Amino acid sequence: MIVYGRNTVLEGLKSDYRIKEIFLEDHINTDSKISEIKALASDKNIPIKYISHKELGKLTKSQEHQGVGCNIEYKEAELRDIDLNQEKGYIYISESTFEQNIAAIIRTAECAGFGGVLIPNKINITPTIAKISTGAVFHLPVIRYPIFQAIKEFKKNGFFVYGIERGGNYYFNETINSKSLFIIGGEDKSLSDPVRKDCDAILEIPQFGKINSLNMSNASSILIYEYVRQNFKSE
């Protein structure tokens, strides 16, 4: 995968993924991040290729590359590689058509120390998602898995499954389990009745404005950090 952006490339270098090559724009100003990228590339014996702004734009298929790109061997995680005995939170993105929302949820989940993000077959992790997530995709397992199989597998391992949806209990009135799988619907799609039926509880975020419609990444963030608030134990 060819990814781009200073933070994205930097996080890729800090991860365990193999990077084949770094691309830097000709005559790029060497600020602190570029210096760190060069130093990490040197430490890992990763070649750096200097190319023109136009070439970099063509290579990354974006004009938001910030003068930096890299070829990284990214791959999604496997559910069998995840330790479901740990008390962790997970979130399943059941529907989404906007890369910005997917990236924002992954970024929030990584910041909150979640165990991973699950996605269905119809969602792909793209360079745009890597960029908007600020490289969070390189530090948090992203697992492609059918939703009903995921619910079954997580329940079998002692997880409580919560749907994030209207028509449920207000989330702040619920005790959220330390082993939790949250399921969020799409931008314009609610959770299906079969998915709702398989959830242990439906959590609703109360809304009192005129719009009464939260962005799915905002809704996910609220529940992710409610999980943290209830389950985080300081050292």
Percentage of the chain exceeding pLDDT 70: 99
pLDDT digits (tens, 9 = 90+) for 2-34: 999 999 999 999 999 999 999 999 989 889 999
pLDDT digits (tens, 9 = 90+) for 148-163: 999 999 999 999 999 9
Give mean pLDDT, residues 93-107: 94
Give mean pLDDT, residues 65-84: 96
In whole angstroms, what is the distance from residue 7 CA to residue 11 CA? Answer: 6
Taken in order of first residue, the domains within the chain and their CATH numbers are: 2-72 (3.30.1330.30), 79-231 (3.40.1280.10)
Q: Is the pLDDT of residue 91 over 90?
A: yes
> Residue 235: what pLDDT?
54
The band of 234, judged by pLDDT with boundaries at 50, 70 and 90, is: low
Q: Is the pLDDT of residue 207 over 80?
A: yes
Residue with tokens 């930096």: 68
| The residue type at 42 | S
E-strand stretches of 7-141: 19-25, 48-51, 68-72, 89-93, 116-119
pTM of the model as a whole? 0.94
In whole angstroms, what is the distance from residue 56 CA to residue 67 CA? Answer: 7
